A and B are shown apart, each in its own frame.
Chain A
Amino acid sequence: MKKNLPWLLWLWISAVIVGAFYYAPLAKGFIGKSSRILFFHVPMAWVSFTAFIAAAVWSVLYLTRGRQERHDRAAAVAIQLGLLFGVLATVTGALWARIMWGAYWNWDPRQTSLLISLLFYAAYLALRGAVDDPEKQGRLAASYALLGLVVTPFLFWIMPRLTYTLHPEPVVNAEGKVDMESRMVQVLIASTFAFTVLFFWMHNLQCRLQALVARREEGRE
């Protein structure tokens, strides 16, 4: 199973791409075929958010479970990947905004909060870069990640509701209903699942790689 995972993932994502373009219908009220970007944009934003929560969990584990290096490494890699997926979500969102709203960027509350979280991820990585001692690096980075956790609710729930937004309703809207054609929902769930697995697969690869690099460094010394 573990050996075949990349192939299964490849098949699954291919199916999602085909489904997004040929199986799912177009959403009403969207210009042209622009609604199809939903199947990629939403999972990317979701993964970026998941990555941050995962990083916070690993940071807590690092601080409470005797400062194991693997937890610190896992948190750092999750933030790196979160930044990557966050940038992708921003870019796909901006492309869509160009078609629907006429401009790539217009400081919609959701764009603002995503941008601030990207700044946060980048600041976290800058902090790691500025500390040499691994123990100190893990300790400071984990605290900073958890401080970021304070800001998250303000970014994702409070600020977007402060001013009106043009952003389409979140997939599950305020009344807890899914307001979408059922084939679209199927593709979206499949795609979100695919992206989440992709994230954890990439995360696993990168953590193992970094562990090997760390071990080689130790061997040299």
Chain B
Amino acid sequence: MFAKEWRCELRTKVALNTLGLFAVTTLVVASVSLGPLGVSKAQGSALLPVLLWLILLFSVAAGLPRAFVQEEESQTATALRLSATPSALFCGKLLYSLTLVVALEALITPIYVTIMNLEVKSPGLLVASLAAGGYGLAAGSTLVAAIIAQARSKGTLFSVLSFPILLPLLILVIELTRNAVVGDPAGMALAQLLLYDASVSIFGLMLFPVVWNP
């Protein structure tokens, strides 16, 4: 499933291009207006983690819903329903979204940190927050993508439906990234974030067959 997703993606490269370009564009906008001199260090540690996650969130909202929308649009969904079990499909799509998000983070975060002149006190915690947050973004948006693929006005609906689900994740992960920047210990936020990831995956796996099979 996972390999099939990537083969299809590499054929068109739509998601890769939208995701990457969207992220780079927003990054440029943010850095032009703020720049390394735009914010003081004290302001930066409060502000910059928020901006980083906003960039990631909106890039994800621009690229990930395609995972299922494309199947419905090119009318391959029925073939997929016949050929794969729902749980294999869900895991495949989730893994595909996850690799996309991780690639995006790997591209964006180093540029962001350098351009914004952001000093990260504990890089390990930053990586942990990126990993846990990225997984949460991928898991939360996979099920929502499967839901909106079957509805009208898909693009706008994705943001409307996914944001209430992703908001607690964002609040937790921004808190955690901020701790990484200032050098505070991870605290409860990391455990809560992992709890969020686990519960979203479990519910996603349970609900996906219902969403997928008419």
Contact = CB atoms under 8 A, between A and B. Distances in A.
Q: Do A and B come from one complex?
A: yes
A116 B157 CA distance: 16
B157 A149 contact: no
Contact of A147 (B165, B168, B188, B196): B165
B69 interface: no
A131 to B, nearest CB: 5
A127 B143 CA distance: 14
Interface in A92-131: 112, 116-117, 119-120, 122-123, 126-127, 130-131
Chain A: interface size category:
20 to 34
Contacts of B211: 139-140, 143
A144 B140 CA distance: 11
A112 B151 CA distance: 29
A127 B157 contact: yes
Given A140-B151, A147-B143, A158 B192 contact: yes
Interface in B177-213: 188-189, 192, 196, 199-200, 203-204, 207, 210-211
A51 B128 CA distance: 37
Chain B: interface size category:
20 to 34
Contacts of A139: 210-211, 214
A174 interface: no
A123 B196 CA distance: 20
A12 B196 CA distance: 42
B161 A143 contact: no
B82 interface: no
B152 A123 contact: no
Contacts of A146: 203, 207
Given A131-B150, A150-B200, 8 more contacts: A112-B171, A123-B164, A127-B148, A130-B153, A147-B143, A149-B203, A151-B164, A162-B188
18 contacts: A119-B164, A123-B164, A127-B160, A130-B152, A131-B150, A131-B152, A132-B152, A136-B214, A140-B211, A146-B203, A148-B164, A150-B199, A150-B200, A150-B203, A154-B172, A158-B168, A158-B192, A162-B175
Interface of B: 143-144, 147-148, 150-153, 157, 160-161, 163-165, 167-168, 171-172, 175, 188-189, 192, 196, 199-200, 203-204, 207, 210-211, 214
Interface of A: 63, 112, 116-117, 119-120, 122-123, 126-127, 130-132, 135-136, 139-140, 142-144, 146-151, 154-155, 158-159, 162
